[in-house]
Amino acid sequence: MAAPENSAIKLNTAITRTQNLGHSGTGTDHFIYQRVSALALVPLLLWLVASLIASGGEYTALLQWLQQPWQSILLLCLIIAISWHSILGLQVIIEDYIQTEWLKLSSLLVMKFIFWFIVIAAAFLVLKIAL
Amino acid sequence: MSQLRPMRPLSPHLQIYHLPLTAKFSIIHRASGIILSLGLPLWLYALYCLTQGEAVWHNLQVYLLSGFGVSALMVYVFCLFYHLCNGIRHLFWDMNLGLDLKTAKYSNWAVLLGSLGLTLVVFLGA
């Protein structure tokens, strides 16, 4: 990815540019999505905790809870928001602490595969209970 | 390649640097985030057990209500509320609110008391 030529401050030297180092020109969207998903998670998590306590963890109570359409819709929203938030957060942690390039990239891949699997599997199970 | 890099000043080494409370809270935010993320596969497993009938769910329930299960749940719920409370503080910081040292020191305690209080409420309520 080439650095924008018209950027006001050039932090890169000529050699770091040819080595493809320095800023990528992207990343603001990552910052914003992290916060947007956080905002959505505040009410959703309070709702989840309250609902779980209300059910008492009992089998029939949990099923009855999830068979109400709006409740399962909210749980689907929560699943997407929390997984998205986790993916973004873990991505930062992996990028911060893993220096070796191939290990960093493969960790990111594995992490994203696992979490997208969780999103799809959890959504399927919620629908299975609800429908 | 390293010879081409100019000499840069070193920041104080972590071992001898006295971390302020706000810095410790920042590290705990990240640590609790990791724990919460690693717990997501277990949530998926719980959802799976719920679809497999009452007997399977009952087995999970017995395990969760054991001594280890309850203590693990307590740690997890504390991580959840800590991350929630400190995350809300981060959202205010992002809006440039409460960034001065005095307010940040007070909000440290608000985050700690808030997350401990909410954890207590959950375990007294459940």
Residue A119's CATH number: 1.20.1300.10
User: Encoding tokens for residue B24?
Assistant: 């410790």
Residue B23, domain member (yes or no): no
Q: How far is CA A64 from CA B30, B42, B85, in A?
A: 35, 21, 30
Return the pLDDT at B2: 55
Q: Which of A49, A62, A83 is opposite residue B122, by nearest beta carbon?
A: A49
Q: Is the pLDDT reported for residue A1 higher than 60?
A: no
Nearest CA of chain B to the CA of A75: how many Å?
A: 11
Q: Is the CB of residue A76 less than 8 Å from the CB of residue A123?
A: yes
Residue B7, domain member (yes or no): no
Return the pLDDT at A4: 53
Return the pLDDT at A83: 96
Q: What is the mean pLDDT of residues A109-125?
A: 96
Domain of A102 in residue numbering reads as 26-130
Domain of B50 in residue numbering reads as 37-125
Whole-angstrom Cα distance, residue A7 to residue A1? Answer: 14
Return the pLDDT at A6: 52
Residue A4, domain member (yes or no): no
How crowded is residue B90: how many other Cβ atoms within 10 Å of its Cβ? 16
User: Encoding tokens for residue A104?
Assistant: 């960093």
Q: Is the CB of residue B118 less than 8 Å from the CB of residue B81?
A: yes
What percentage of chain A exceeds 70 in pLDDT? Answer: 90
Closest to B75 (Cα-Cα) out of B111, B109, B35, B46: B35
DSSP labels for B65-111? TSHHHHHHHHHHHHHHHHHHHHHHHHHHHHTT-S-SHHHHHHHHHHH
Whole-angstrom Cα distance, residue B93 to residue B87? Answer: 10
What percentage of chain A exceeds 90 in pLDDT? Answer: 72
Q: Would you say the C-alpha torsion B96, B97, B103, B104 has a positive or negative sign?
A: negative
pLDDT tens for each residue of A3-26: 455 555 566 777 777 777 777 777
Which residue has 């950027």 as its token pair?
A: A7
Number of structural domains in chain B:
1
Q: How far is CA A131 from CA A45, A82, B51, B52, B100, in A?
A: 23, 23, 12, 15, 51
Residue at B61: amino acid letter: Q
Number of structural domains in chain A:
1
Q: Is the CB of residue B105 less than 8 Å from the CB of residue B21?
A: yes
Residue A17, domain member (yes or no): no
How crowded is residue A35: how many other Cβ atoms within 10 Å of its Cβ? 16
Which residue stretches of chain B have pLDDT < 70? 1-5
- Residue A57: pLDDT band with limits 50, 70, 90: confident
Q: What is the mean pLDDT of residues A100-129?
A: 96
SS3 A22: coil
Residue B84, domain member (yes or no): yes
Interface contact B94, partner A, CB < 8 A: yes
Residue B13, domain member (yes or no): no
Q: What is the mean pLDDT of residues A64-87?
A: 95
Return the pLDDT at A64: 94
Q: What is the CATH number of the domain that holds B62?
A: 1.20.1300.10
Q: Which residues of A touch B (CB under 8 A)?
A: 15, 35, 38-39, 41-42, 45, 49, 52-53, 56-57, 59-60, 62-63, 66, 82-83, 86, 89-90, 93, 114-115, 118, 121-122, 125-126, 128-129
User: Encoding tokens for residue B91?
Assistant: 């959202």
Closest to A93 (Cα-Cα) out of A104, A78, A82: A104
Return the pLDDT at B11: 72
ipTM of the complex: 0.84
Per-state percent for chain B, helix, strand, coil, to nearest 5: 80, 0, 20
Residue A10, domain member (yes or no): no
CB contact under 8 A, A49 and B88: no
Interface contact B49, partner A, CB < 8 A: no
Residue contacts between A and B (CB atoms, under 8 Å): 69
Residue B61, domain member (yes or no): yes
| Sequence-ordered list of residues with C-beta below 8 angstroms from that of B29, at least 6 positions apart, any chain | B82, B83, B86, B87, B90
Return the pLDDT at A13: 75
